[in-house]
Amino acid sequence: MARIPVDVEIEIDRFCNNVKQSTYTRSVDLALATILILKKIIGESKWSNASELITMIRSQAHRLNEGQPVDSITFNITRRILKIIREVSVRIIHGKNEGSDISLTLQAVLNDRATMLTMNDDEYENPDDNLQLKKKQQVQADLTESMPINSIESEVPMHILKPELMDDLNWYATDVELSVQNLAQQALAHIHANEIILTLGYSYTVERFFKYAAAKKRQFHVFILEHAPFFTGHKMAINLSQANIPVTVVTDSAVFAIMARVNKILIGTRSLLANGGLTAKSGTYNLALAAKNYNVPLLVCAPTYKFSPTYLPSFDPVMCNSFPSPENILSYESLFQSSLDIVVPMHDYVPPELVTLIIGSGMGNAPSYVYRIVSELYSAEDNDLERSQKKSSR
């Protein structure tokens, strides 16, 4: 039976408190912290095989994501690590890596086992080759239907799985740590000379994207929407100006007026959904509508750990948002405070038809291709983590 030690439980509580207190200001920091806590769970907990490990991690996913929206980075990292566990398990059983598609690799394992059974079973020693082939195919079909992935995972013991799994997790952590840098290296392919590029508020990924292009002597001008009432655009303007990038801060209300002068829009995102839509900071939807009206391309910078297999229509939109204190809008000392209901949503949903290109850690893709990337990143059986959380909260 899988069991988590007390000291790891304390680490999990510390991680959850840090998330609730917004200690991780950058999304990449949250992603790396999630990988670290899951490595602690895997490395220091008691479990006997891959199946028990997967069950234990799934049981902790809701706890790690407590207080966050359903399409958070924590869920995505958890799904990816579960996929890595399954990949390593199948690789150990099969003896070689058939690629990233687990379904194909698992099918090869089942086919190999079926072939061995039919070769060793005297029942199928029939001179009629056609009949023997049909029986062999029937055994393969029966094995495929009767042996779920869990039975494959339960055959991989801890002492064999853990060393290879920890190596893969170290590689994955390095990949996440370098994801923003790798994404920024695509800047020269998307930012051309003397362009005017519009962005909204502050995004660490977008900042690195701009700075990489400027470091390569690419000349361009950045218009920055200030993103009221938080005014994070001012931080972006200061950081870019320090890198000698020409910037102009624009009020949010002027987005439609300046759109005719803009060559393209470059924004970050909190989460990229399976249908190609995205959740981003408030004001992005208005920005996308104005861009659509003027046929200005909208480019989204999204590292792979922000790709989520969820669909916003499956959940309450309020559940997928966060609402900070309205103090920035109206002071608590105001005379009108008691007679007004002030809602301050942090994020907007942007449908895929308003997005032109998704710039990931590899190459740019259309929003319609996101579902394929998601299917390669995660296992289908882990896509129900949010629904499981919703059921458990009832």
Place of tokens 């510390």: 14
Bridge partner residues of 49 (DSSP): 157
Q: What is the pLDDT of residue 118?
A: 43
Q: What is the pLDDT of residue 324?
A: 72
Respond yes or no on whether the N-terminal peptide bond of residue 229 is cis (omega within 30° of 0): yes
> Domain locations in the chain?
1-177, 180-386
Strand, helix or coil for residue 164: helix
CATH architecture, domain 180-386? 3-Layer(aba) Sandwich (3.40)
Tokens representing 251 are 């009020």
pLDDT (tens digit per residue) in 39-98: 999 999 888 888 899 999 999 988 888 767 655 899 999 999 999 999 998 888 877 544
C-alpha to C-alpha distance for 357 and 390, rounded to whole angstroms: 32
pLDDT (tens digit per residue) in 335-376: 666 677 777 778 888 999 999 999 986 678 999 999 899 999
Give the residue ranges of the chain where pLDDT is below 50: 97-127, 136-137, 139-147, 149, 314-315, 390, 392-394
Q: What is the pLDDT of residue 100?
A: 41
Phi, psi (5° rounding) for residue 186?
Answer: -90, 0
Q: What is the pLDDT of residue 114?
A: 43
Q: What is the pLDDT of residue 393?
A: 45
Instruction: Report the candidate in 56, 62, 75 with the shortest Cα–Cα distance to residue 8.
Output: 56
Q: Give buried/exposed letters for 49-84 (b at 16+ CB in 10 A, else e).
A: bbbbbbebbbebbbebbeebbbbbbbbbbbbbbbbb
From residue 47, alpha-carbon distances to 9, 78, 145, 288, 310 in Å are 15, 18, 27, 48, 29
| pTM to 2 decimal places | 0.80
Bridge partner residues of 272 (DSSP): 278, 307
